[in-house]
Amino acid sequence: MPERIETESRKLLGRLREALAADNEGQARLDEVVDLIATSMMTEVCSIYLFRDSETLELCATKGLQAEAVHQTRMRLGEGLVGRTAKSRTVINTADAPAEKGFRYMPETGEERYSSFCGVPIQRLGDAMGVLVVQSKAAREFSADEVYALEIVAMVLAEMTELGAFVGEGAALSARHQQHVMLRGSVAQEGASEGCVFLHEPRVVVTNPISDDPDVELAHLRDGVEKLRKSVDHMLLGARSADADQAEVLEAYRMFANSGSWMRRMEADVSNGLSAEAAVEKEQSLARTRLNQAGDAYLRERLHDLDDLSNRLLRILTGQGADARNDMPENPILVARNIGPGELLEYGKALKGIVLEEGSVGSHAAIVARAWAIPLIINAKGITREALNGDPILVDGDQGIAHLRPDETVHGAFRDKLAMQTRAQERYASIRDLPATTKCGTTISLQMNAGLIADLPSLEGSGAEGVGLFRTELQFLVRNKMPRRAELSALYSRVVKSANGKRVAFRTLDIGSDKVLPYMKPNDEPNPAMGWRAIRVGLDKPGVLRMQLQALLRAADGGPLAVMFPFITQLEEFRAAKAEMDKAIAREKILGHSLPSSLEVGAMLETPSLGFAPDIFFEEVDFISIGGNDLKQFFFAADRENERVRKRYDTLNVSFLSFISQVIDRCNASNTALSFCGEDAGRPVEALCFAALGLRTLSMRPASVGPVKHLLRRVDLDEVKAVMDEAIARGDQSVRRAVADWLVYQV
Ligand code: PEP
Ligand code: MG
């Protein structure tokens, strides 16, 4: 235990607490704080600069500089020593400020008379809020103790800023988390919704950064850490028997939870006057700053662990967010840094929208959101920092924009948009039972993609003719252990029954790449999307594939069955997978089980190579489904999860369409049924072009069936084809513009 000494910083914090508790306006509080610090540290100058916007710092209070400069002097992030402190998020401590690189002379403040400068960032959990500065005439560097005291004070200032202590008449600050903020991200699922923020990991609010009694606070901290250690031990015990890899991660957690230096630093901070919660947050802030700067992947992982552990400890100490699910508001809009498909599925369909700070369009969580037709915005930088649980939020999934705490004007415009959407939905509902027959008389079969039992009711509601893709891995992803054959067979049987006689194309397990089963050892592959995944796993370790095939055969219960294998890249893979099916049938026969009345065995075409397979492949396979999500990433060599490269390549690029045309021709030549089940099938313009090329079956998320059908019924495919051919002949890179321009005059 560190020896508790009545340090300067503790005395200072005591005075600070009194000043902050006084019934003052924000500016008066700030003025008093700088006065207090200058007096107690015996410096001529103490100033507080706070961010006016994300790029500009403003002098908000000073003791020692010209009073007229307050709210007048501003500098950009990185400009001058103050700007540098804010940008680097590190302390700048110098005896000769004018000689320092980047020193900026500001005549209005009269600061040329001061030689020493010490700037300490005011930050909270990696979120820069401003800079605390002390200056003196005498040329001296501030001692380590003095810097430490300033850091502690800066920590308290950050907490108080967060709590709105400096807001009010005359203050430069407006309250945080109260104004309207517009965040721009990328579209991952269209649609609009209105609701309240529901944080996946709610931020803990520290309301008492300064302790009343360090002894009590130390006991509180130790008690919290003890509970944390026990909970990690408990998790570890469970994981050891079930999952060696998860246990490995938890071992790292335990190491941090038992770290002597972590504990010592927090104890020292508490001894110096911080509350237990503030001490934890100070450490967490430090870790976040390092996390933002760390390039090394391993180090980043460990810092993430530490961040997570601090969150757990804060929740224990404050009792906040113990059971987030209970706090789900009405019309919840989920806000998270990122989320896996399993966690998302746990929240269920109650969610009205999702806004992620990171995320990617091709991820499985995005696919789940799409299946549920929940608007999803990804890459909305800053959302987890800005949003508080329960904040009103509008999600504009069409533009990729989230409005947090919207004002009345924004709200009004948004409601108009929602009303328009409702009218569109009514239009789609009116054609639900009509076929997708174009003006030229061609009928396109529109099917839906699914992956959960909960998706099946959409079959009726959307007007889809069947399930063109049933992603079986979602069932594996939501569990914490491998399902058994009997469970799977019961589940598939429910799917078949819910489909009510409509065809369901079951895709066998497609794991690997971004779909990592929590209970399977992850492979440390440099390039998982091109690694050991999908049918490759199924063929190399056939136990699960065999179990799944048997479960499917039983679920068919003497009725028809359609099964397809994911990620087939060459003839031999299809033959080997089909041989597994033949073996499964033979086994079922021996066991005396009934066999499907008809069996279709198909392959997903997700790599260019399969398009060039020998003719015999097209003859042997019963049907082919183009998995455009994967096919596109391999065709263009652009990772579907990497937003930066993914967006460069258009599905309506003529090279891609020319490849699809060839596949259509080959399927026509061998009379092989062909469908397209990637996400692009659900985009009306893309669907139109695919149909014009000759695709007759498209499988999409249920919410897309209406819009796609609506468009198809209004066009003549020969005319679309002519527009596309013209664009191709002209040498356009993509036919999108030509088709879109043409559409303006058609519909
Ligand atoms: C695809 O790749 O287009 C596809 C449908 O499969 P998934 O998105 O599940 O990889
Ligand atoms: Mg795929």
Q: Using an 8 Å Cβ cutoff, are 239 and 35 in contact?
A: no
**Quick one: CA dihedral 347, 353, 359, 362, positive or negative?**
positive
Atom nearest to 625 CA in ligand 1: 5
628 lines ligand 1 (CB under 6 A): yes
By most ligand atoms within 8 Å of CB, the mutation choice from 474, 506, 567, 630 for ligand 1 is 630
Q: Using an 8 Å Cβ cutoff, are 283 and 125 in contact?
A: no
258 lines ligand 1 (CB under 6 A): no
Instruction: For residue 672, give the amino acid letter.
Output: T
630 lines ligand 1 (CB under 6 A): yes
Ligand 2 centroid vs 131 CA: distance in angstroms?
49
Ligand 1 centroid vs 678 CA: distance in angstroms?
6
341 lines ligand 1 (CB under 6 A): no
Ligand found nearest the CA of 370 = 1
Ligand 2 centroid vs 658 CA: distance in angstroms?
20
Q: Looking at the predicted structure, is the pLDDT value of residue 244 above 70? A: no
Centre a 10 Å sphere on the Cβ of residue 745 and count the other Cβ atoms it contains.
6
Between CA 359 and CA 382 the distance in angstroms is 13
185 lines ligand 1 (CB under 6 A): no
Strands (E), 576-715: 599-605, 623-626, 673-676, 697-700
Atom nearest to 606 CA in ligand 1: 2
Tokens of 114: 């001061």
What's the pLDDT band for 569 if we cut at 50, 70, 90? very high
Tokens of 454: 């909960």
Residue 364, pLDDT score: 65
Tokens of 160: 């108080």
Q: In DSSP terms, which residues pair with 124 in a beta bridge?
A: 127
Q: Using an 8 Å Cβ cutoff, are 282 and 209 in contact?
A: no
Residue 294, pLDDT score: 66
Q: Using an 8 Å Cβ cutoff, are 122 and 158 in contact?
A: yes
Ligand 2 centroid vs 606 CA: distance in angstroms?
6
Whole-model pTM?
0.64
Ligand 1 centroid vs 364 CA: distance in angstroms?
9
Instruction: For residue 56, give the amino acid letter.
Output: T
Between CA 387 and CA 91 the distance in angstroms is 29
**Quick one: CA dihedral 81, 82, 86, 92, positive or negative?**
positive
Phi–psi pair at 136, nearest 5 degrees: -145, 160
Residue among 476, 473, 465 at smallest CA distance from 436: 465
Residue 363, pLDDT score: 67
Ligand 2 centroid vs 485 CA: distance in angstroms?
24
629 lines ligand 1 (CB under 6 A): yes
Tokens of 265: 């630093």
515 lines ligand 1 (CB under 6 A): no
217 lines ligand 1 (CB under 6 A): no
The predicted-structure confidence for 701-742, as pLDDT tens digits, reads as follows: 888 999 999 999 999 999 999 999 999 999 999 999 999 999
450 lines ligand 1 (CB under 6 A): no
Residue 300, pLDDT score: 66
Ligand 2 centroid vs 637 CA: distance in angstroms?
15
678 lines ligand 1 (CB under 6 A): yes
Between CA 427 and CA 434 the distance in angstroms is 12
Ligand 1 centroid vs 627 CA: distance in angstroms?
5
151 lines ligand 1 (CB under 6 A): no
Give nearest CA residue, ligand 1 atom 6: 627
**Mean pLDDT score, 590-599:** 96
What's the pLDDT band for 111 if we cut at 50, 70, 90? low
Q: In DSSP terms, which residues pair with 697 in a beta bridge?
A: 445
473 lines ligand 1 (CB under 6 A): no
By most ligand atoms within 8 Å of CB, the mutation choice from 564, 625, 629 for ligand 1 is 629
**Average pLDDT taken over every residue of the chain:** 87
Q: Looking at the predicted structure, is the pLDDT value of residue 5 above 50? A: no
Ligand found nearest the CA of 471 = 1
Atom nearest to 510 CA in ligand 1: 9
**Mean pLDDT score, 669-686:** 96
Q: Looking at the predicted structure, is the pLDDT value of residue 699 above 90? A: yes
267 lines ligand 1 (CB under 6 A): no
Between CA 488 and CA 474 the distance in angstroms is 12
**Mean pLDDT score, 169-174:** 50
The predicted-structure confidence for 402-434, as pLDDT tens digits, reads as follows: 999 998 988 898 898 888 888 888 889 999 999
Atom nearest to 629 CA in ligand 1: 3
Ligand found nearest the CA of 362 = 1
Q: Looking at the predicted structure, is the pLDDT value of residue 290 above 80? A: no
Between CA 151 and CA 202 the distance in angstroms is 26
Ligand found nearest the CA of 363 = 1
By most ligand atoms within 8 Å of CB, the mutation choice from 471, 530, 536, 641 for ligand 1 is 471
CA 183 vs. chain centroid, Å, equals 14
Ligand 1 centroid vs 187 CA: distance in angstroms?
18
What's the pLDDT band for 287 if we cut at 50, 70, 90? confident
677 lines ligand 1 (CB under 6 A): yes
The predicted-structure confidence for 455-493, as pLDDT tens digits, reads as follows: 888 898 889 999 999 999 888 876 667 889 999 999 999
What's the pLDDT band for 245 if we cut at 50, 70, 90? low
468 lines ligand 1 (CB under 6 A): no
486 burial type by CB count under 10 A (0-12 exposed, 13-18 middle, 19+ buried): exposed
514 lines ligand 1 (CB under 6 A): no
32 lines ligand 1 (CB under 6 A): no
Between CA 449 and CA 506 the distance in angstroms is 10
Instruction: For residue 19, give the amino acid letter.
Output: A
